[in-house]
């Protein structure tokens, strides 16, 4: 329960928010009307994300406004106006066209937060390709798997990652991957690759976006389930209406805002809010290439005069560890609104924002499948610390019980735990998992989209996160499928079985922990543990690999052979083991 409510009064807010009265805005809201705030392609040729993000600002004074300020690790600064982005994204669209790449083709990126990533995303969307970002800390296996499922035709990456992630070798098993464009190489490219910069320099900066059906596929974001391969969630061009609306209400964008989304575009937040939403509002975004460093971040907030900041609980907890005195050394007079997403935000973190920055942190909730923010704490709405807030205008959320026969009962009784469900339709709801119709269909029941999260709603309509309904792990805000990790571990010659769980961690939320049983002839030892950890890290990359391994004689399984991760977790935490009647070897 909340310790106390943080009351909001309009008179105390530094600017009048876009939504002053939640209930009134909600009552008058329709997606149809919201869509009219976007421009659309000229003369009824449809709706295209890249047009709304950049081209529509090219024929007004916003053309010269700063769109992206990129801050390099070594202190370099590169500025891009809206006019620059129009030109560069058109060049990239022409590069793709010149390579014979067109509508529906999947363009993957694998790089750090480089300007070229943002330009590739926009250029891909102009050319009606599908943008699919990969996290640069993925190892060769997650990369191969996603490129294969997504049938990537083009990969934009750097020479260093091309070598380090063994892409040349992976290409042997990726016949569809025709073109690799390397950023940063100006001289002769590695065999079988192009220099991104050479192609861009030769391309024209004029590109007319072809007619775009609002339902044309635009973005492919991979996410993980408990079992099976990663799932490619499909989003379409009209998702941009939701990006725009959530930018307006949940992040409260105003024309002169300087916005910083700290999420990496390798994950959905970094695309929907690191690229698309702020550009549709014509505001300035900060992109920091560097990794987390509390002082560096405070300095960016101060020096770049950030007004709206969108970050994540793991980062907030890391700042809390450093202490508020460090935070207080800097000046945040421009900062107006702080929001956070991706994992539960502890009430302490909400209050810590008040102490460190003079502003509470506003939690909001969404997921890859929803394409945009669904439940949020808004600037003018009082905060109940620990709650995710209330559904966005245009979004109906409920706590439901899903029965085995597929029927769904809405739980009206407040403060009752159940499945968090959302009522379709909204523009950014995913349109499918690529080539995985069954898993897509399984997400819906009784006219509801069942999110896979457990939550409760209090009598005032605030939603409270309780946990995941499945065994998926959230580590440092990244969703990790245990099956993917277990499969990689099993490839090690000594490993007989592996069961992987998320072990609670005070900073990163959950840490990937593996329980491993060994094949006959192998005995547990510290050196074997280190070897298996290293093996997993090389294959999966640091973002996905386990941080801890424990040897067991056997890994608990059901009689049908499913690993009982819940039991592993209960034993890890010393919690009641629950129903173990299906456990193999138990009567
Ligand atoms: P992803 O699809 O990777 O964005 O992960 C979505 C999942 O992250 C959700 O289904 C939740 O389990 C979790 N999540 C996102 N936002 C929050 C939040 N504000 N509080 C608690 N969990 C969250």
Question: What are the tens digits of pLDDT across the range 471-527?
Answer: 999 999 999 999 999 999 999 999 999 999 999 999 999 999 999 999 999 999 999
Residues 45, 41: Cα–Cα separation, whole Å:
5
pLDDT of residue 522: 97
Cβ 397 vs Cβ 456: under 8 Å: no
Kindly give the number of the ligand 1 atom that is closest to the alpha carbon of 268: 4
How close is the Cα of 170 to the center of ligand 1, in Å?
31
User: Which atom of ligand 1 lies nearest, measured to the CA of 452?
Assistant: 10
Work out the pLDDT band at 584, boundaries 50, 70, 90.
Answer: confident
pLDDT of residue 476: 94
Alpha carbon nearest to ligand 1 atom 5, residue: 367
State the average pLDDT over residues 559-579. Answer: 86
Residue nearest to atom 20 of ligand 1 (CA): 344
CATH for 471-573 (3.30.300.30, 3.40.50.300, 3.40.50.2000, 3.90.550.10)? 3.30.300.30
Rounded-to-10 torsion of CA 89, 95, 101, 104? 0
Rounded Cα gap, residues 452 and 474, in angstroms: 13
Mutational test site, ligand 1, from 142, 224, 345, 365, max ligand atoms within 8 Å of CB = 365
Contact 281, 307 (CB under 8 A): no
Q: How far does residue 340's CA lie from ligand 1's centre (Å)?
A: 11
Alpha helices in 188-310 (DSSP H): 196-202, 239-249, 268-271, 277-280, 294-303
Per-residue 3-state assignment (H helix, E strand, C coil) for 374-436: CEECCCCCCECCCCCEEECCCCCEEEEEECCCCCEEECCCCCCCEEEEECCCCCCCCCCECCC
Contacts of 405 (CB under 8 A, 6+ apart): none
* Parts of the chain belonging to CATH 3.40.50.12780: 10-24+32-457
From atom 9 of ligand 1, which residue's Cα is the shortest distance away? 367
- Portions of the chain given CATH number 3.30.300.30: 471-573
Q: What is the pLDDT of residue 226?
A: 84
* C-alpha 30 – ligand 1 centre gap (Å): 25
Mutate to test the pocket of ligand 1, among 222, 479, 502 (most ligand atoms within 8 A of CB): 479
Given this model, what pLDDT does residue 1 score?
A: 44
Helix residue ranges, H only, 304-346: 313-322, 324-327
What's the pLDDT at 585?
64
Q: Which token pair is 275?
A: 């690229």
Structure tokens at 229: 């391969």
The superfamily in CATH containing domain 10-24+32-457 is ANL, N-terminal domain (3.40.50.12780)
- Stretch 250-265: mean pLDDT, rounded? 97
Distance of alpha carbon 49 from alpha carbon 244, whole angstroms: 10
Rounded distance between C-alpha atoms, residue 482 and residue 502, angstroms: 9
Per-residue confidence (pLDDT) for residue 587, from 0 to 100: 36
Q: What is the mean pLDDT of the chain?
A: 95
Question: Which candidate, 376, 393, 392, places its Cα nearest to that of 384?
Answer: 376
Q: What is the pLDDT of residues 403-446, one digit of tens each?
A: 989 999 999 999 999 999 999 999 999 999 999 999 999 999 99
Output the ligand 1 site: residues, CB below 6 A. 223, 268, 341-344, 363-365, 367-368, 388, 451-453, 465, 468, 474, 479
Residue 103 carries which DSSP code?
Answer: T
Rounded to two decimals, the pTM is 0.95
Over the stretch 19-73, which tens digit does the pLDDT of each residue have? 999 999 999 999 999 999 999 999 999 999 999 999 999 988 999 999 999 999 9
Q: For residue 88, what are the contacts with CB-CB under 8 A and spacing of at least 6? A: 80, 119, 122, 123, 200, 205
Above 90 in pLDDT, residue 558?
no
Q: What is the mean pLDDT of residues 351-363?
A: 96
- Model confidence over 2-14: pLDDT tens digits? 468 999 999 999 9
pLDDT at 578: 78
Dump pLDDT digits (tens) for 66-122. 999 999 999 999 999 999 999 999 999 999 999 999 999 999 999 999 999 999 999
pLDDT for the residue 434? 97
Give, using CA atoms, the residue closest to atom 19 of ligand 1.
Answer: 365
Q: What is the rounded CA–CA span in Å between residue 88 and residue 82?
A: 10
The band of 577, judged by pLDDT with boundaries at 50, 70 and 90, is confident
pLDDT tier at 459, thresholds 50, 70, 90: very high
Distance 465 CA to ligand 1 centre (A): 9
**Residue 478: CB atoms within 10 Å:** 23
Given a cut of 90, whether residue 173 has pLDDT beyond it is yes
Q: How much is the pLDDT for 576?
A: 82
Report the pLDDT value the prediction gives residue 185, as an integer from 0 to 100.
73
Residue with tokens 């069942």: 450
Which atom of ligand 1 is closest in space to residue 479's alpha carbon? Answer: 3
């Amino acid at each position: 329960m909340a310790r106390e409510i943080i009351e909001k009064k309009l008179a105390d807010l530094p600017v009048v928010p876009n939504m002053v009265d939640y209930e009134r805005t909600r009552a008058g809201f329709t997606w149809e009307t919201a869509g009219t705030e976007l421009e659309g392609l000229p003369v009824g040729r449809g709706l295209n994300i890249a047009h709304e993000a950049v081209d529509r600002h090219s024929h007004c004074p916003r053309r010269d406004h700063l769109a992206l300020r990129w801050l390099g690790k070594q202190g370099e600064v590169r500025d891009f106006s809206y006019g620059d982005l129009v030109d560069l994204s058109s060049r990239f669209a022409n590069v793709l066209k010149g390579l014979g790449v067109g509508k529906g083709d999947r363009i993957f990126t694998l790089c750090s937060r480089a300007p070229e990533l943002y330009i590739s995303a926009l250029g891909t969307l102009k050319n009606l390709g599908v943008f699919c970002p990969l996290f640069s800390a993925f190892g060769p296996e997650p990369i191969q798997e996603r490129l294969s499922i997504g049938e990537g035709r083009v990969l934009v990456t750097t020479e260093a990652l091309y070598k380090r992630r063994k892409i040349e070798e992976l290409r042997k098993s990726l016949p569809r991957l025709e073109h690799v464009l390397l950023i940063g190489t100006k001289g002769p490219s590695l065999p079988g690759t192009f220099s991104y910069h050479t192609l861009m320099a030769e391309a024209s900066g004029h590109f007319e976006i072809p007619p775009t059906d609002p339902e044309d596929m635009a973005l492919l974001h991979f996410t993980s389930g408990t079992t099976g391969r990663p799932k490619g969630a499909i989003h379409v061009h009209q998702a941009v209406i939701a990006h725009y609306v959530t930018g307006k209400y949940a992040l409260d964008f105003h024309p002169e805002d300087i916005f910083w989304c700290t999420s990496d575009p390798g994950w959905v937040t970094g695309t929907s809010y690191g690229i698309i939403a702020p550009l549709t509002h014509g505001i300035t975004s900060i992109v920091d290439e560097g990794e987390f460093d509390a002082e560096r971040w405070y300095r960016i907030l101060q020096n770049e005069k950030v007004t709206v900041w969108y970050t994540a609980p793991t980062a907030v907890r890391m700042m809390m560890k450093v202490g508020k005195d460090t935070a207080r050394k800097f000046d945040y007079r421009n900062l107006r609104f702080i929001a956070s997403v991706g994992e539960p935000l502890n009430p302490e973190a909400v209050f810590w924002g008040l102490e460190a920055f003079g502003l509470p942190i506003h939690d909001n909730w969404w997921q890859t499948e929803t394409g945009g923010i669904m439940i949020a704490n808004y600037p003018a709405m009082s905060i109940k610390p620990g709650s995710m807030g209330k559904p966005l205008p245009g979004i109906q959320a409920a706590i439901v019980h899903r029965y085995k026969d597929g029927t769904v009962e809405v739980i009206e009784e407040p403060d009752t735990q159940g499945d968090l469900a959302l009522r379709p339709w909204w523009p950014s709801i995913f349109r499918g998992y690529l080539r995985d119709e069954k898993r897509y269909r399984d997400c819906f029941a009784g006219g509801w989209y069942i999110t896979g999260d457990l939550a409760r709603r209090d009598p005032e309509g605030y939603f409270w996160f309780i946990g995941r309904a499945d065994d998926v792990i959230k580590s440092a805000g990244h969703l990790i499928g245990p099956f993917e990790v277990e499969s990689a571990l099993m490839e090690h010659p000594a490993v007989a079985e592996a069961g992987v769980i998320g072990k609670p961690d005070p900073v990163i939320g959950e840490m990937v922990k593996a329980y491993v049983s060994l094949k006959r002839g192998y005995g547990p030892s510290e050196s074997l543990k280190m070897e298996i950890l290293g093996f997993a890290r090389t294959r999966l990359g640091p973002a996905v690999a386990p941080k801890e391994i424990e040897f067991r004689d056997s890994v608990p399984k059901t009689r049908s052979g499913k690993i009982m991760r819940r039991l592993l977790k209960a034993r890890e935490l010393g919690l009641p083991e629950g129903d173990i009647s299906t456990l193999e070897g138990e009567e």
